[in-house]
Structure 1
């Protein structure tokens, strides 16, 4: 089947579903200020192209409501530049030197990444540093955003990543996600970092709670 290039509105819908995880046709129509009929045509096209799926939810006595979300193919439309080569390389490396050595290579890689991030994030106020970290992650295809949390006791943020640029690697080698958590802790040594969401557990984003010590 030949997949047509999504229109701007279709791409907007895909990005919204990537970010929010799911939405109804009515919610999408309101979000993009287009008619419900036009929204359903876009959704039908995206479903035909295999980019989205839906599940039906019964609300009361009325017709079932369709909840739309990205398919695996839909997620693949977003940056994951490292996946194909990196996964093939790691599989070959595992066959050659063994799983233990591969885990060591991955650990070394994230140590280098943490060093690079630390240099680029620099010093300054926590908000300045986490904002710079989000910019770095976004430039690498993670579709990251910073969500402030109101707390009178200390400074808190959620670093949310709505797309994983290395999702294929993370599925096959989940230890990279643990190294990622360690990496953020190195880059922000005056903070505690906790994972709040994880795509590998079926959630629609990865999330990290950043809390000033």
Structure 2
């Protein structure tokens, strides 16, 4: 029983860190409903495998706490790249036809992808279409989710705004070498939801722990 449970628990820890960016052993124990002692054993194993790292943070007058986060190797455990081949291919294309031509090719690719997404998302409310878009992204290796920002004093529109979050990047290696693809991705989301404005709120490529997008109907403006 224990042997089969441990790999699942370790994966749960890695997924939690992917979503939360960083956490303590106690917070992990509370979130996963496992004893702190068991969590620390898993953390020690994951650290030995090079999948997580920690830093010591002083809290009050007590002993420093270990705050854990994923290492680069830990992030690479999730579907987050189409391997080095894509980057190598784009490098070769850049050497052959030039950077401007490659940028044009990438733009065409995202335009094609946007049309494909739009056909799959179909009609419906903003929330229904975003929910479908999130399912598509999940099928492509993104750890994606969405939630609604309920109307408040600053946002008194009848239709709530929506946040789309991606906790990993399925093309991270490409994005690091060719950051323009992130701009194309933003344009693609806007094309998929033509009656909405799409604003990037978080960006993995700038060191944040997720990519986030604020989506709102143009009728809210």
d(CA) in 1 for partners of 2:125, 2:32 = 36
Compute the displacement of 1:126 (Å). 1.5
Equivalent of 1:170, from 175, 193, 203?
A: 175
Runs (5+) with no aligned partner, structure 1: 1-5
- 1:68 aligns with 68
Compute the displacement of 1:81 (Å). 4.3
Compute the displacement of 1:34 (Å). 1.1
Q: Is the 8 A contact 2:167 2:209 kept in 1?
A: yes
Tell me if 1:183 matches 2:191: no
Count of aligned residue pairs for this structure pair: 208
d(CA) in 1 for partners of 2:180, 2:41 = 41
Runs (5+) with no aligned partner, structure 2: 1-5
d(CA) in 1 for partners of 2:95, 2:18 = 34
Q: Is the 8 A contact 2:166 2:212 kept in 1?
A: yes
Q: Is the 8 A contact 2:202 2:212 kept in 1?
A: yes
d(CA) in 2 for partners of 1:192, 1:55 = 39
1:46-90 CA deviation, whole Å, 9 max, x = no partner? Answer: 000000011111111111111111000000000024132211110
d(CA) in 2 for partners of 1:133, 1:116 = 11
1:115-145 CA deviation, whole Å, 9 max, x = no partner? Answer: 1001000111221111000100111111100
